[in-house]
Structure 1
């Protein structure tokens, strides 16, 4: 049972780290779920109240940062609410429409198209698209760091 538990926990950690880059995977949720899998299959005993307080705080920070950092990139480059919505749609749809490259092109094109639809000049729309791309890359970096921190804290706590 112990080996099975660790296999599931490791798979969830891998899915979580992939989710930091590829938005279709559940990212932080998978990592957080791994803690429960460990508790149910091995023991909740080593996971005391402070473990849950710290991990839940990081988990909430991850969710907030995911949206805030991306939106900040668009706003910093002069984007509107429409471009934030467009970049989010592009982030979700991009990988399906253009596999691999769509992950980067989706938010960029979504923001540019949204800005053009509301009447923004082309050059400014491109700048906002660049902001969406910068926001996405910044968000991915923040998620990778925080999710890695969650995994390391778990390992330190239980090993």
Structure 2
């Protein structure tokens, strides 16, 4: 039974890693769920306090994931259309075979979304840049958690 718990926790960690890039999956919370599942393995010791602290961190990053891109977009004069374009551009960028699609897609999506909302190319580009910067910062924070939590997983399973 312990191997099933460890494998399930590992799969949640991998989903959390994917969720740090995919807007569909809540990466930090999924990774935390992997730690929570791992805590039920017989040979692994994870304190309740540790689980609470890591949950608060994951929840904070999850909330910031929605706030940071909005702040970046608004700060540069963007709109909701830019945010939607960024998210759609990310999905297209991930699925496209072009190099750096994960970076190019959100930026182009933000430009297209902002240009549809505002017919001024300069303002649309500026707002798209803000949306893109917010997206990059948010993704970076999620990725950090997506690396740290599996590192904790490995140390708990190996230790």
TM-score, structure 2 normalization: 0.75
Q: Give the structure 2 partner of residue 64 of structure 1.
A: 63
Which residue in 1 is equivalent to 2:31? 31
SS at match of 1:68: helix
Report how many aligned residue pairs link the two structures.
Answer: 157
Match in the other structure for 1:112: 111
- 2:6 is matched with 6
What's the counterpart of residue 52 of structure 2? 53
- Which deviations, in whole Å up to 9, do the C-alpha atoms of 1:26-77 show, x marking residues without a partner? 522331221233234x149833321222021011112112112222222232
1:17 aligned residue: 17
Looking at structure 2, the residues matched to 60 and 70 of structure 1 have their Cα atoms a distance apart, in angstroms, of 17
7 and 70 in structure 1: CA distance in 2 versus 1, 3 angstrom threshold: same
Match status 1:143 vs 2:151: no
**Cα-Cα RMSD:** 3.0
Q: Distance in 2 between matches of 1:73 and 1:6?
A: 39
Q: Secondary structure at the match of 1:21?
A: coil
Instruction: Decide whether the 8 Å contact of 2:73 with 2:82 is kept in 1.
Output: yes
> Structure 2 regions of 5+ residues with no counterpart?
none
Residue 78 of structure 1 aligns with which residue?
A: 77
Task: Determine if the alignment matches structure 1 residue 128 to structure 2 residue 148.
Answer: no
**Counterpart position of 1:90:** 89
